[in-house]
Amino acid sequence: MRVAVVGAGWAGMAAAVALTEAGHHITVIEAARTLGGRARGLNATGADGQPIVLDNGQHILIGAYTDSLKLMQRVGVDVPKALLRMPLTLTYADRSGLELPNLPPPWDALVGVARARGWHWEDKLALLRACAGWQLQGFHCDARLSVAQLCSRLTPRLLQEFIEPLCVSALNTPAEEASAQVFLRVLRDSLFSGRGGSNLLLPRTDLGTLFPETAARWLKDRGAVVQTGQRVMQLARTAAGWEVDTIRFDSVVLATHSTEAARLVHAAQCSLPPQEQAAAATWSDTAQALRFTAIGTVYAQAPALPAPIRTAQESPHTLGRAMLALRPGPEQPAQFVFDRSYLGGPPGLLAFVVSASEQGRAILEDQVVRQAQAQLGLEGLQPLQTVVEKRATFACTPDLQRPGSRVASGLWAAGDYIDGPYPATLEGAVKSGLGVAQQLLAG
């Protein structure tokens, strides 16, 4: 088959790799000049004036992202070299919080909770009781529940320093608005999926190199076509198949963001048989109804120590570990900070992550600088670049209706917003792309 994949994000590239591997002729069409969608590399300038490559947002993978990890390996990524693996850690600058040991589940969670610093025994017992109850229920709950409602019996410390940061990092939605069912699925797959499933995997390279650009080279080596800087304007069903800007294909996979996919489906609707027009209209309306939340990432340079006290043995790291949790509050918006020197970046380069971000860039930078001074004791922090991805994720709310992967005969959709068990994550995008490829191949 000749298949057009519209969009070169993680979902689109996953579908393209699977279909190419099955022997089909694939053309990937991407509107942007770079690959990766909302998880891509970004050219920037460091504090010393030298060019550096950042990301359009600091991303984390976890050990349970098995489809993503297998796909990376399939296209030639050296996963252990490309990703820094560390235990699930939600610790703060004062070293309080949770850090799981390298043990098989459930012992990693039991020992980690027992050793959690700054937690009282009532906090620890409350969390263990809740986790046991969720496991007995098969990690299922009423689809209408929010995370806050699910966890209402936990202690205030657990809500503030464990549930809320975990929820906002995984679902990019505050606990009061986030889907409890999706949250439980994330907990099940991370904490109870097997040894290493809860590990955090931090990219040591930019996100473009990590998968989409490497996948593009893999595709081209096998005869696939990857086009960038070309936005699809017309999509129509014909007697011979599908036309994408007048070029004929047997099938089309829409792997763009949901609003763009809805635009193309709406444009194609009049070319569909009458029995498929209503279903396509419903699909488009469902995709258009999704609400989005932003993620802000403030890249900043911590000042170097004065030359007289700097030694050859001095650590190049600023934070003492690759990642720390922060305590958000009024005018202190960041939930996490990453020391990029652990990830191949220059000494002093930090990335502050603000999930569910609502501030403008200038306000965000000023607030993060003040937060770094108050919580990390960092003076003279210099913002380098601030990225606010306004459509970073859909709001993962209770009982949310998400569009399916099949739009019409020969027309499919892939993306992290497609109906599935995961929130808007890289694994969700990859699973969607692979799932569409499997359905397309099955006819």
Q: Which residues in the chain come in under a pLDDT of 50?
A: 306-313
- Rounded distance between C-alpha atoms, residue 33 and residue 89, angstroms: 36
- Rounded distance between C-alpha atoms, residue 235 and residue 218, angstroms: 27
- Rounded distance between C-alpha atoms, residue 181 and residue 185, angstroms: 6
Give CA angle at 423 (264, 253), nearest 5°.
Answer: 30
Q: What is the DSSP letter of 155?
A: -
3-state secondary structure of 66: helix
Question: Measuring CA to CA, how many Å separate 117 from each of 76, 156, 326, 337?
Answer: 40, 16, 15, 19
List pLDDT tens digits, range 133-151: 999 999 999 999 999 999 9
- Rounded distance between C-alpha atoms, residue 334 and residue 389, angstroms: 15
Q: What is the DSSP letter of 9?
A: B
Q: What is the pLDDT of residue 77?
A: 97
- Rounded distance between C-alpha atoms, residue 237 and residue 244, angstroms: 9
Task: For residue 26, give both structure tokens.
Answer: 């694939």
Q: What is the pLDDT of residue 86?
A: 94
What are the structural domain ranges in the chain? 2-39+206-290+400-442, 88-197, 292-394
Q: What are phi and psi of 265, to 5 degrees?
A: -65, -40
- Do the beta carbons of residue 338 and residue 202 sit within 8 Å? yes
Q: What is the pLDDT of residue 312?
A: 42
Domain 2-39+206-290+400-442 has CATH 3.50.50.60: yes
Q: What is the pLDDT of residue 314?
A: 57
Handedness of CA 113, 117, 122, 126 (dihedral sign): negative
Alpha helices (runs of H) in 250-360, residue ranges in sequence order: 258-268, 274-288
3-state secondary structure of 319: coil
